[in-house]
Amino acid sequence: MDNNVYDVIVVGSGNAALCAAVSAREEGLNVLVVEKGPKEKRGGNSFFTDGAIRCAYNNLDEMRKVLPEVTDEQAEKIEMPVYEVSDFHEDLMRVTKGKSEPSLANKLSEDSFETIKWMYKQGVRFDLNENQYFDQGGKLVFWGGLPLKTHRKGMGLIESLFNRLDELNVETLYETRAIGVQQENGKIVGLNVENKDASNSLIPAKAVILASGGFEASKAKRMKYIGEEWEKAVVRGSEYNTGDGIEIALEAGGKKYGEWDGCHAHTTDYNAPRVGDYSKPGDIYKKSSYPLGLIVNKNGERFVDEGADFRNYTYAKYGKETLKQPDQKAFQLYDSQVRSLLRKEYDLKEATCIKADTLEELAEKMGVEQPVFLETIERYNQAVQEGDYNPSIKDGKQTVGIEPSKSNWALTFDQAPFYAYPVTCGITFTFGAVRVNDLSEVLDEQEQPIPGLFAAGEMVGGLFYHNYPGGSGLMSGAVFGKQAGKTAANYLSALKEKAK
Ligand X SMILES: Cc1cc2nc3c(=O)[nH]c(=O)nc-3n(C[C@H](O)[C@H](O)[C@H](O)COP(=O)(O)OP(=O)(O)OC[C@H]3O[C@@H](n4cnc5c(N)ncnc54)[C@H](O)[C@@H]3O)c2cc1C
Name the residue type at position 396: G
- Shorter beta-carbon distance to ligand X: residue 209 or 410: 209
- Give, in order, the Cα–Cα distances in Å from 48 to each of 130, 158, 281, 285: 18, 10, 5, 11
Of positions 10, 17, 29, 165, contacts ligand X by CB under 6 A: 17
Of positions 14, 258, 469, 485, contacts ligand X by CB under 6 A: 14
CA distance 84 to 454: 29
- Residue 240 is a binding residue for ligand X (CB under 6 A): yes
- Give, in order, the Cα–Cα distances in Å from 483 to each of 120, 205, 234, 360: 16, 19, 32, 57
Q: CB-based contacts of 247: which residues, under 8 Å, 6+ apart? A: none
| Per-residue burial over 396-408, b = 16 or more CB atoms within 10 Å of its CB, e = otherwise | ebbbeeeeebbbb
Please tell me what DSSP assigns to residue 418: E
Q: In the beta sheet, which residues pair with residue 60? A: none
Of positions 8, 26, 30, 46, contacts ligand X by CB under 6 A: 46
- Shorter beta-carbon distance to ligand X: residue 379 or 466: 466
| Contact of 112 with 148, CB cutoff 8 Å | no
Shortest distance (Å) from residue 361 CB to ligand X: 33
Of positions 6, 13, 78, 143, contacts ligand X by CB under 6 A: 13
- Residue 127 is a binding residue for ligand X (CB under 6 A): no
Of positions 8, 31, 34, 411, contacts ligand X by CB under 6 A: 34
The torsion angle over the Cα atoms of residues 282, 283, 287 and 291, rounded to 10 degrees, is: -90
Name the residue type at position 356: A
- Residue 428 is a binding residue for ligand X (CB under 6 A): yes
- Shorter beta-carbon distance to ligand X: residue 13 or 314: 13
x-or-dash string of contact with ligand X, 373-412, rule CB under 6 A: ----------------------------------------
- Shorter beta-carbon distance to ligand X: residue 245 or 293: 245
Please tell me what DSSP assigns to residue 225: I
- Shorter beta-carbon distance to ligand X: residue 143 or 418: 143
- Shorter beta-carbon distance to ligand X: residue 212 or 440: 212
**Strand 139-142, strand 78-79: pairing:** parallel
Helix axes 153-167, 15-26, angle to 10 degrees: 30
**Binding segment (CB under 6 A) for ligand X, from list 88-96, 210-218, 292-300, 446-454:** 210-218
- Residue 12 is a binding residue for ligand X (CB under 6 A): yes
Of positions 30, 49, 332, 467, contacts ligand X by CB under 6 A: 49
Shortest distance (Å) from residue 355 CB to ligand X: 26
Shortest distance (Å) from residue 292 CB to ligand X: 20
- Residue 35 is a binding residue for ligand X (CB under 6 A): yes
Of positions 45, 399, 408, 483, contacts ligand X by CB under 6 A: 45
Helix axes 85-95, 102-121, angle to 10 degrees: 130
In the range 155-174, which residues lie near ligand X by CB under 6 A?
Answer: none
**Strand 78-79, strand 126-128: pairing:** unpaired
